[in-house]
Amino acid sequence: MNQSRAGARLRTVLGHLGQHSAGAGVAYPTSGAASPNSFHPPQFQYTRDNNVLSLEQRQFYEENGFLVIKNLVSDADIKRFRSEFERICQGEVKPEQLMIMRDVAIAKSERVPSEKTVSKVQDFQEDKELFRYCALPEILKYVECFTGPNIMAVHTMLINKPPDAGKKTSRHPLHQDLHYFPFRPSNNIVCAWTAMEHIDENNGCLCVLPGTHKGHLKPHSYPKWEGGVNLMFYGIQDYDENCPRVHLVMEKGDTVFFHPLLIHGSGWNKTQGYRKAISCHFASSDCHYIDVKGTSQETFEREVMEVANRLHGIPKDATLRDLYIFRGRLVKGKRINL
């Protein structure tokens, strides 16, 4: 999308906004770090009543803030997503609004069109092939357990964690995804994250701190890493270093669903391969937007809007709220406009 078209489209969207529009298996073993059998809540706070999750699965998510469903996405779908990613990297397709990201350790001279120089594609909602992931019935069946029936896809990524160049820049610091979202309540938001191949500690699997979703949103900033930090890879400093950590070893097609306040990150890729995963954050379409001015999210808003203006011509006076309304997509149920 050229800059004038992107700016015009956003202005049209903004002209129709109301005050509170939302626009925007099995339990995974935890090696003793968390016990689903010891949890007996008076009521469920983080999951919805339906016949999809078992009682044990609901209890596990309530206590730990994440749940892995094994072999959820088919090999055929993952093959199609991988093929489309390769086409994007080669420049054969250029989806509107897509953001292509590269690891900070890759020299500019090496940034030729290639899968080996792209660490992530973000905001692929205009790519019909990749966006199929967000509408897969097997994904939405579980998403509804956390958001309810009216579901918006609000943020999309295909991550291609590169072999680390020796500076450990392929790491992602421990963070909470809610830092990136200007809408609430947090309990109506969930991430679906699917492994596109075998993922373990060697190639940088997800690391989660069980139970931290019960806390609050902590201040985020760039960590002071000697090798450098990738754009928008914010991290938190204020967390209990003694909190048990669980490394999610996953096979191709396994999908983890997790709460936006769950503290998580990923290690550096020690192999020579590229670790791929595809993900989408979903939110109930009756969430409400907040003004992030004066909060710990304000720095992120300023940074992301500078990028949106430079790449897509998004108006300079737009807000993070405007951006999510601009790129949010209804995938199930109805969009609520108040």
Q: Which has more pLDDT, 277 or 295? A: 277
pLDDT at position 300 is 86
pLDDT at position 38 is 46
b/e per residue 186-218 (b: at least 16 CB within 10 A) = bbbbbbbbbbbbebbeebbbbbbbbbbbebebb
pLDDT single digits (tens) 168-178? 777 788 999 99
pLDDT at position 227 is 60
pLDDT-derived band at 7, boundaries 50, 70, 90: low
Distance (Å) of CA 281 to CA 5, 13, 125, 191: 26, 21, 12, 4
Pairing of strands 288-289, 120-122: unpaired
Q: Which has more pLDDT, 104 or 118? A: 118
> What gap in Å lies between CA 301 and CA 179, rounded to an integer?
10
pLDDT single digits (tens) 284-294? 999 999 999 99
pLDDT single digits (tens) 189-247? 999 999 999 999 999 999 999 999 999 999 987 777 666 666 667 789 777 778 899 99
pLDDT mean over 78-92 = 95
pLDDT at position 281 is 98
> What gap in Å lies between CA 96 and CA 281, rounded to an integer?
19
pLDDT at position 261 is 98
pLDDT single digits (tens) 304-317? 888 888 877 888 78
**Beta pairing partners, 288:** 184
**Beta pairing partners, 153:** 282, 329
Q: Which has more pLDDT, 76 or 116? A: 76
φ, ψ for residue 244 (rounded to 5)? -55, 140
**The tokens of 198 are what?**
């075998």
pLDDT at position 225 is 62
Q: Which residues contact 278 (CB under 8 A, 6 or more apart)?
A: 78, 81, 130, 133, 157, 158, 159, 193, 194, 196
Q: Please say if the pLDDT value at position 297 is more than 70.
A: yes
The model carries a pTM of 0.85
Pairing of strands 288-289, 183-184: antiparallel
Domains (range + CATH), the chain: 71-332 (2.60.120.620)
Q: Are 88 and 123 in contact (CB under 8 A)?
A: no
> What gap in Å lies between CA 322 and CA 330, rounded to an integer?
16
Prior bond to 185 cis, omega within 30? yes
pLDDT at position 26 is 38
Q: Which has more pLDDT, 125 or 35? A: 125
pLDDT at position 33 is 44
